[in-house]
Structure 1
Amino acid sequence: MKYMFTYDLMESARNTNEWLGASARAFASYPAFAMSMNPMLPLMAAWGEVTERTFSRMVAKPDWGIRSIVGPDGQDHLVDVNAVVEKPFGNLVQFFVRRRSPMGRKVLLVAPMSGHYATLLRSTVASLLPDADVFVTDWHNARDIPVSAGKFDIEDYTLYLAEFMKVMGPDTHVIAVCQPVPLALAATAYLAAEDPEAQPQSLVLIGGPVDPDAAATEVTDFGRRVTMGQLEHLAVQRVGFKYK
């Protein structure tokens, strides 16, 4: 119970500081004060903006912001983001380009599930769209998933990827970026053993820890020093009753 109280207390403090920063920024940026030469007003506005950003939390998922692309015909084509597969912890979404025939190349972009939304790869999607039909693993924010949805561990993550690859078919090119690199490799190997006809045509791994011991970093050293029991005790915390 005390941990739940501590979490709610810290969350209340964060909300208060965010509100104070926003209020200071709005007050000091009032247009009528532009006629004043008081140097404290710009300083107050800057402090308010920094404070607001520091204590703000990403509550809403950012929009992909990819409205249209230039097609092979030189015209703008609108882009729709459609969910192909919907699951409790993440969806497989397709960037459907209107008035364009299916491309000869399908790309599955595996986004990280590590505290960021898949929209972090917006520029990568935009660069691939003119030359391929692009699909992305759109993971949900774990904060918004109720406990009743069950667990989601490395095995579940790998099976999600394997299912997405099966849905897309064997003519798929998979690109994994950062955190999901070893899991995309595992999912591809799993399909190669269980359903060879469904494995992707190619697999590109970008910036991921396939073999952490090959180039040890502070992260791998930390993993050797800290046990799973310590992480569960220090990093996992119950939240208040307002959460699902």
Structure 2
Amino acid sequence: MRFMATYDLMETIRNTNQWMGATAQALGSYPAVSFAPHPGFQWLAAWGEVTERAFSRMVVKPDWNIQSVVGEDGRDHLVEIVQAISRPFGDLIHFKVQGRAEQPRKVLLVAPMSGHYATLLRSTVVSLLPDCEVYITDWHNARDIPVSEGKFDVEDYTLYLVDFLKHMGPQTHVIAVCQPAPLALAATAYLAGEEPAAQPRSLTLIGGPIDPDATPTEVTDFGNRVTMGQLEQSMIQRVGMKYAGVGRKVYPGLLQLSSFVAMNAENHMKAFSDQITRTAKGEASEHDKHNKFYDEYLAVMDMTAEFYLSTVERIFKGREVARNCFTVAGKQVDIGAITDVAVKTVEGEKDDISAPGQCVAALDLCTGLDDSKKASHVEPGAGHYGIFAGRSWRNNIRPLVLDFIDQNSGPRVVGGKKTATKSGSGKATRAGAA
């Protein structure tokens, strides 16, 4: 109950700040103050508006807000979000474009379970929809999952990916962003050993901690400094009485958000200060750059305690994927068993979460894969967010990824012989790491 009370206390603090913001906005906008105009009231209303919006977004899952996509015929085609597979801890959803023939590129976007919803990849989805059939892993907020549904750790996550890939078929191209990169690699290796025909055609790993010790960051340093006992005592809480997952042990999204903000506290403080000034001057808008970013950034979800702790213990501390000794359901996963899935890594030169060197380590682990099916790219000047959703992704990385998919969309090699050839297929080469 001590941890449950702590969870409810965090929610109470958030709720109180939301109420204070709404109250300040109402008071500063009170009609009577217009009789004696004073900039202080304008600032109060602006502070309240920005504060209320920020704290109210922390408990609401954002909508996808993807209404349509322009097809090759120049017409707008409606986008329908279809649940291909529904599971207690996450769904596989398909962005089905109505009135359009199925695209030859079938892409599975593996969204991170690191405190944010899959909607963090909205712009990534939008950029791929005109050219691909896009599927994505839509992970659920642990606070809404009853305890009766059981546990969910890194092995369960990997097996979810295995099932999703089996459902989508062998012509799938996987793009894993950030946290799930090592688990997507493990899921592919698991299929290579258990059901080779279900493997994807290509695997693109973007900014993921395949080997966290390759290039230490503040994130990896924190994981190495604290013990698992300290983490469990300080980070794990039980879901409060308000939600369906009451009593479930979780790593709260609000706690994760505070860590994210603390990493760049000065930048966030300036961003909110500037937004309050713009709002007071009447220069802010509903969907301006600040609101568009923070509406998504502040929307956080809880992770199951076992997933958070097993990620730290097995991926960061034990480096099980990096050392090729990761096990799933009692079976060791051999990454060297991957022999015909093309693998590409993408890193950002200025990524302070998963620094260059951590993700490209995947290529050395793929000892059974020919060098012609390996590729890597380091995007100059790009931070973590930019390599999958920013200008760097749109202008440089996305075209490289689509080319990589096309180059590896031919038939599989069976028994050392290709069953057929396909126009547009080719060899992937390592892009120069800038």
TM-fit CA distance, 1:31? 5.9
Cα deviation digits, residues 44-93 of structure 1 (max 9, x gap): 11221243245435323111111001101111100000000000000000
Equivalence for 1:130: 130
Equivalence for 2:178: 178
Q: What are structure 1's unaligned runs of at least 5 residues?
A: none
Q: Which amino acid aligns with 2:190?
A: Y
Question: What is the root-mean-square deviation of aligned Cα atoms in Å?
Answer: 1.7
Equivalence for 1:200: 200
Greater mean alpha carbon deviation, residues 215-224 or residues 129-138: 215-224
TM-fit CA distance, 1:223? 1.6
Greater mean alpha carbon deviation, residues 215-224 or residues 233-242: 233-242
Equivalence for 1:5: 5
CA distance in 2, matches of 1:207, 1:170: 24
**Against the structure 1 CA distance between its residues 129 and 35, is the aligned structure 2 distance closer, same or farther, given a 3 Å change threshold?**
farther
Cα deviation digits, residues 173-199 of structure 1 (max 9, x gap): 000001111010000111111100000
SS at match of 2:243: coil
Equivalence for 1:37: 37
Equivalence for 2:84: 84
Equivalence for 2:159: 159
CA distance in 1, matches of 2:152, 2:134: 25
Q: Could you tell me the TM-score, scaled by structure 2's length?
A: 0.54
Cα deviation digits, residues 186-229 of structure 1 (max 9, x gap): 00111111100000000000000111111111222222221111
Equivalence for 1:102: 102
CA distance in 1, matches of 2:10, 2:16: 10
Q: Which amino acid aligns with 2:226?
A: V
TM-fit CA distance, 1:15? 1.4
CA distance in 2, matches of 1:9, 1:215: 37
TM-fit CA distance, 1:32? 6.5
**Against the structure 1 CA distance between its residues 175 and 35, is the aligned structure 2 distance closer, same or farther, given a 3 Å change threshold?**
farther
Equivalence for 2:14: 14
Q: What are structure 2's unaligned runs of at least 5 residues?
A: 245-434
CA distance in 2, matches of 1:30, 1:201: 61
**Against the structure 1 CA distance between its residues 13 and 211, is the aligned structure 2 distance closer, same or farther, given a 3 Å change threshold?**
closer
**Against the structure 1 CA distance between its residues 87 and 193, is the aligned structure 2 distance closer, same or farther, given a 3 Å change threshold?**
same
Q: Could you tell me the TM-score, scaled by structure 1's length?
A: 0.94
Equivalence for 1:213: 213
TM-fit CA distance, 1:150? 0.7
**Against the structure 1 CA distance between its residues 54 and 75, is the aligned structure 2 distance closer, same or farther, given a 3 Å change threshold?**
closer
Q: Which amino acid aligns with 2:172?
A: T
Equivalence for 1:67: 67
